[in-house]
Structure 1
Amino acid sequence: MFLDFSSRPPSLQFDGPTDHLSNYRRVYEGTERQVANSVDGDPLENYLETYERLGACHVVLKARDLTSTFGVKISNENVAAFCRTHGHRYIGFAGVDPHKGAAAVAEFETAVRELGLRGLNVQGFEHRLPIDHPLLFPLYEKCVELDVPVNIHCGTNFSTQTSMMYGHPAALDRVMMALPALRVCASPPGWPWVQELLAVAWRHPNVWIGTVAMRPKLLATAHSGYEPLLQYGRTVLKKRMIFGSAFPMMPVEKALREFDALDMPDHVREDWRCNNAIAYLGL
């Protein structure tokens, strides 16, 4: 059993203009080609069948509203509709445009209370905002009020139209000092500031780390910069690591195979695969 914390269905409602992410296609060209070559028949049917066959307990899908910065929106309504249509396996996170101020907070509350979405997705580099920007705090405070978690992009990004520094984990430390009850998953896991993110998670018990948008084998690859995640994730932070494939950046099965090949005790592996995410999501 596993929970995939990062996945995007091959469905029109999850597509949109992504010119600002064109450099991602260069970086992930190899694994994305593997995804494309593995599809046999209808892509959506193949997607749903993969999670059924592999026994996924849940798959997290994330909305995004980048209207003010890049003119892109994957709407809360579409994410919620996908989850309703395809069953309890699929869990949706809301996405709102923080530049809209109070209207964004109201939209987020509606997404949780009326649409049934289970968390908030903050991709700061796409909003051109650091993690601790004042525009984000009303949304974080609403997460605490609604008792739902937030996913926060942490680490570099590969878009050359926005700064990599928006994802620096030092800003997450400042957020957690102000709002210790906020449940955060920092994903991807902080590279090239992995050590700093580990320090933030060790300091704050409500910070989880999502190993998404990266090859799991890099956790055990010398000099990759990711190795400390495996060391601390097997010990002091073993209850705070969360697996995600980042499909379609990487095939789900390949991500699982690489993860399962890592050297860790079985009970720790099961925590990374599922149990830690269940605690983070409050399921």
Structure 2
Amino acid sequence: MFVDFSSRPPVLQFNGPADHLSNYRRVYQGTEAQAASTVCHDPLADYLAIYERLQARHVVLKARDLTSTFGVKISNEDVAAFCRQHGERYIGFAGVDPHAGATAVAEFETAVRELGLRGLNVQGFEHRLAIDDPLLFPLYAKCVELDVPVNIHCGANFSTHTSMMYGHPAALDRVMMAYPGLRVCASPPGWPWVQELLAVAWRHPGVWIGTVAVRPKLLATAHSGYEALLQYGRTVLKKRMIFGSAFPMMPVERALEEFDALEMADEVREDWRCHNALAFLGL
């Protein structure tokens, strides 16, 4: 049993044009081709069958509203509808446009209270905002008020239409000092500033780290820059590491196989695979 903290279904509502991410297609072309081969007959049916066969406890889907920056939107309504249609295995996070100010905060509250979404998704590089930009603070405050977590993109991004510095984890430290009651999953896990992210998580018990959009085998690969995640994730941060495949950026089963090949105690592996995500989600 496992929780996949990052997945995107192969349906039109989740896969509109996103030209600003074209460089991702270059970087991930190998693993994306492998993932596509797993959902080639009937993409949605194959996608659902993968998680059924692998006995996923939950799969987290994330909305995004980039109206002000890139004109792209995966709506809260579409994410909520998918979760309702396909059952409690699927959990949705809301996405709003922070540039909309109070309107965004109201939309987020509606997404939680009326649509049943379970958290907030902040992809700062796509909003062209640092993690600690003042435009995001009312949304963080609303997360605390509603007692729901937030997923925050942390680390470099591969879009050449926006700065990679928007994901620097030092800004997350400042957010956590302002909102110590906030529950944050920093994902992907901070590369090339992995050590800085680990320090932030060690400092703040409300920070989890999602191993999303990175091949798990790299955590055990010398000089990859990810090795410290395995060291600290097996020890002082073992209760705050969360697995995510980032499908369709890589195949779900391949990601699990690479993760299961990492050297760690069985109880720690189960925490990474499932229990830590349940605690983060409040389930």
Scaled to the shorter chain, the TM-score interval is over 0.9
Q: CA deviation at 1:38?
A: 2.7
2-structure distance, mates of 1:35, 1:187: 20
Which whole-Å CA distance do the structure 2 matches of 1:126 and 1:98 have between them? Answer: 11
The number of residues matched between the two structures is: 283
Correspondence list, 1:170-209, <5 A: 170-209=170-209
SS at match of 1:196: helix
Distance 1:26 1:17 in 2: 16
Cross-structure match for 2:140: 140
Given residue 192 of structure 2, which amino acid in structure 1 is its aligned partner? P
1:104-156 CA deviation, whole Å, 9 max, x = no partner? 00000000000000000000000000000000000000000000000000000
Amino acid in structure 2 at the alignment position of 1:108: F
Task: Please list the CA deviations of residues 42-82 of structure 1 after superposition, one character each: whole Å capped at 9, or x if unmatched.
Answer: 00000000000000000000000000000000000000000
Amino acid at match of 1:233: G
The equivalent of 2:27 in structure 1 is: 27
For residue 136 of structure 1, give the secondary structure of its aligned residue in structure 2.
helix
Aligned to 1:62: 62
Output the CA distance in 1 between the equivalents of 2:274 and 2:36: 27
The alignment status of 1:102 with 2:84, answered yes or no, reads no
Corresponding position: 1:269 with 2:275: no
Say which SS state the counterpart of residue 73 (structure 1) adopts: strand
Contact 2:118 2:148 in 1 (8 A): yes
* SS of residue in 2 equivalent to 1:135: helix
Shift in Å at residue 249 of structure 1? 0.2
* Shift, 1:40, TM fit: 4.1
Paired residues for 1:1-283 under 5 Å = 1-283=1-283
Separation of aligned partners in 2, 1:253 and 1:96: 31
Runs of 4+ in 1 over 3 A off after TM superposition: none
- Cα distance in 1 between the residues matched to 2:7 and 2:40: 19
Residue identity opposite 1:47 in structure 2? Y
Q: Deviations over 1:190-210 (max 9, x none)?
A: 000000000000000000000
For the residue of structure 2 that corresponds to 1:242, the secondary structure is strand
Q: Which amino acid aligns with 2:244?
A: G
Counterpart Cα distance in 2 of 1:15 and 1:194: 29
| Per-residue deviation, 1:39 | 2.7
Secondary structure of residue in 2 paired with 1:8 = coil
Secondary structure (helix, strand or coil) at the match of 1:140 reads helix
Equivalent position amino acid for 1:227 in 2: E
SS in structure 2 of the partner of residue 223 of structure 1: coil
The answer on whether the counterparts of 2:3 and 2:58 sit within 8 Å (CA) in structure 1 is yes
The offset of 1:41, in angstroms, is 1.4
TM-score, scaled to structure 2 = 1.00
Superposed displacement of residue 37, structure 1: 2.2
Mapped to 2, the partners of 1:72 and 1:168 lie a distance apart of 23
The answer on whether the counterparts of 2:92 and 2:118 sit within 8 Å (CA) in structure 1 is: yes
What value does the CA root-mean-square deviation take over the aligned residues? Answer: 0.5
Query: Could you give the per-residue CA deviations for residues 144-171 of structure 1, whole angstroms, max 9, x where no partner exists?
Result: 0000000000000000000000000000
Could you tell me whether the CA contact under 8 Å between 2:38 and 2:46 is conserved in 1?
Answer: no
Higher mean Cα deviation, 94-103 or 13-22?
Answer: 13-22
Letter in 1 for 2:114: E
Q: Which AA in structure 2 matches 1:231?
A: Q
**Runs of at least 5 residues in structure 2 that lack an aligned partner in the other structure:** none
Distance, in Å, in 2 between the alignment partners of 1:41 and 1:223 is 39
Q: TM-score, normalised by structure 1?
A: 1.00
Deviations 1:203-231 (A, max 9, x none): 00000000000000000000000000000
Q: Distance in 2 between matches of 1:136 and 1:37?
A: 38
AA in 2 matched with 1:168: H
